[in-house]
């Protein structure tokens, strides 16, 4: 459950905190399909297990949605597709109408390069894979505005050079309205938490996310300045049989690059409208009625 406190009140007894499940919109074509061994396990089922109200839409519905409709959700989720898509064609519709949905994403954003829902069939346990998605989705759905959770999985998009002179293997065109995101096609197997207290890591551990047999299939080599590195991946340290990572930090000859990045939500600009309880509404009405009567009497004088 995600606590949502709407508004602020000058008179505290008028207001109540509103605790509710977050409304989460999931882009259906990005979800891992059913598997004979595990059944259906993907970002949508994880969000439901976390108590959120989940709406899964197909390509046609997504393409027809308005900015207002996207804004009605607490979080947008684009999954890892279970490593089924290598060219990113499943996100063509997301890219086509990015001018419609991107402006509403003023909340928390977290982006990773894992393909967790393939590895629950080998390398990772279901708890490790779902824990990563759960922490990320909960972070995206918390706070003001609409957040975004994205897992890149095994996707590779069009190549392109970034403005810092580093040639990434591919870039995320559907995220271009937020800035440039460049990814290198690496497969690090040892995960290092740079911000271990970050909400997007609430539950997962370094050991739990490491040594899946290529825990991720990419590393961020460029991203906007308002994003921070949450976790790195080290490609050159081999895993032990017991899954323990062999180093907490990379040395000079074992460079690390980000595998999880995040951006906190933007402050809400504009008037704050308080949320009132039924009793608070009644009291507010009474106060307004008394105040109105006093003003009327003064005018009669």
Q: Can you tell me the mean pLDDT for 160-180?
A: 74
pTM for this model (two decimals): 0.78
Q: How confident is the model at residue 36 (pLDDT cuts 50, 70, 90)?
A: low
Q: What is the mean pLDDT of the chain?
A: 79
Residue of 63, 107, 62, 87 lying closest to 152 (CA atoms): 87
Q: Give CA angle at 202 (197, 205), nearest 5°.
A: 85
For residue range 76-105, list pLDDT tens digits in order: 999 999 887 667 888 999 999 999 999 999
Q: How confident is the model at residue 47 (pLDDT cuts 50, 70, 90)?
A: very high
Q: How confident is the model at residue 293 (pLDDT cuts 50, 70, 90)?
A: low
234 strand-pairing partners: 190, 256
Q: Can you tell me the mean pLDDT for 178-193?
A: 88
For residue range 273-289, list pLDDT tens digits in order: 344 445 555 665 666 66
């Amino acid at each position: 459950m995600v606590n949502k406190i709407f508004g602020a009140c000058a008179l505290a007894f008028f207001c109540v905190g509103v605790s509710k499940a977050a409304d989460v919109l999931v882009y259906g074509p990005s979800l891992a399909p059913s598997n004979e061994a595990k059944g259906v396990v993907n970002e949508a089922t994880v969000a439901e297990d976390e108590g959120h109200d989940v709406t899964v839409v197909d390509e046609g519905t997504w393409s027809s949605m308005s900015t207002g409709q996207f804004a009605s959700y607490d979080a947008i989720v684009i999954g890892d597709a279970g490593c089924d898509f290598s060219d990113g064609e499943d996100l063509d519709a997301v890219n086509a109408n990015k001018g419609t949905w991107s402006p509403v994403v003023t909340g928390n954003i977290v982006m990773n390069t894992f393909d967790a829902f393939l590895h629950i069939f080998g390398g990772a346990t279901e708890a490790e894979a779902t824990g990563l998605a759960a922490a990320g989705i909960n972070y995206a759905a918390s706070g003001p505005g609409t957040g975004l959770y994205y897992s890149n999985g095994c996707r590779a998009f069009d190549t392109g050079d970034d403005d810092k002179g580093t040639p990434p293997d591919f870039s995320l065109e559907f995220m271009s309205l937020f800035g440039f995101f460049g990814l290198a096609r690496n497969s690090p197997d040892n995960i290092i938490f740079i911000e271990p207290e970050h909400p997007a890591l609430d539950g997962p551990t370094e050991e739990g996310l490491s040594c899946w047999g290529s825990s991720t299939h990419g590393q961020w080599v460029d991203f906007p300045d308002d994003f921070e590195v949450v976790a790195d991946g080290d490609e050159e340290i081999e895993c032990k049989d017991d899954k323990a990572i062999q180093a907490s930090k990379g040395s000079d000859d074992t460079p690390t690059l980000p595998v999880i990045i995040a951006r906190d939500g933007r402050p809400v600009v504009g008037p704050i409208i308080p949320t009132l309880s039924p009793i608070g509404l009644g009291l507010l009405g009474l106060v307004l009625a008394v105040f109105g009567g006093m003003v009327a009497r003064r005018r009669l004088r």
